[in-house]
Amino acid sequence: MKPNNRPVAFAYYHDDNLYGFMVDTHCKIGILPKIYYLNDCQFNTIMRNVQHHLDVIHNYIEHDNCVKVNRFKKLHVSKHQKMMMEWGKFEVRVIPCPNYDKDWKYPVLKMHKWLNKMSKPIKVIKFEI
């Protein structure tokens, strides 16, 4: 992928239905997307973070529905990880989106219009639990 710093959103899809967008680099799911600038480094970071969530889910499944951090501490999965578990298979689509306004404010109105007529994805990455 060539660095072009094009504004994009990362969208979660399951069974070809949009479930939400990444709202932060930790891959949390929300209604309005965080605006990213597409380059190899950013893309690779986000894909590593999605893979981390899958690793946590696999650890959770293998260890009686709890994540073993060390021999003293156990954690449960987040609500976003639970959604991924329920989906089983899902896609992360990289979709061109509006840029921030001139003064770096989030373009809420542009985003609402964009949601009604999103562009085709630049890239589709498939995941499976």
pLDDT at 77 over 90: no
Q: Which tens digit of pLDDT belongs to each residue from 11-67? A: 999 999 999 999 987 778 898 899 999 889 889 999 998 998 888 888 777 766 655
14 sits in which H/E element: strand 6-14
Over its C-alpha atoms, the chain yields an Rg (Å, rounded) of: 16
107 sits in which H/E element: none
Residue 118, pLDDT score: 86
pLDDT at 6 over 70: yes
Sorted by sequence, the CB contacts under 8 Å of residue 6 that are 6+ apart come out as 37, 38, 96, 122
pLDDT at 97 over 80: yes
Distance CA 91, CA 47 (A): 11
DSSP 21-53: EE-STT--EESSPPPEEE-HHHHHHHHHHHHHH
**Residues in a beta bridge with 90:** 127
Average pLDDT over residues 70-80: 65
**Domain coordinates in residue numbering, the chain:** 6-128
Is the distance from CB of 46 to CB of 25 less than 8 angstroms?
A: yes
Q: Which residue has the higher pLDDT, 43 or 70?
A: 43
Measure CA of the first residue to CA of the last residue in the chain; give whole Å.
26
What percent of the chain is predicted at pLDDT more than 70? 86
pTM more than 0.85 = no
Residue 66, pLDDT score: 59
pLDDT at 76 over 80: no
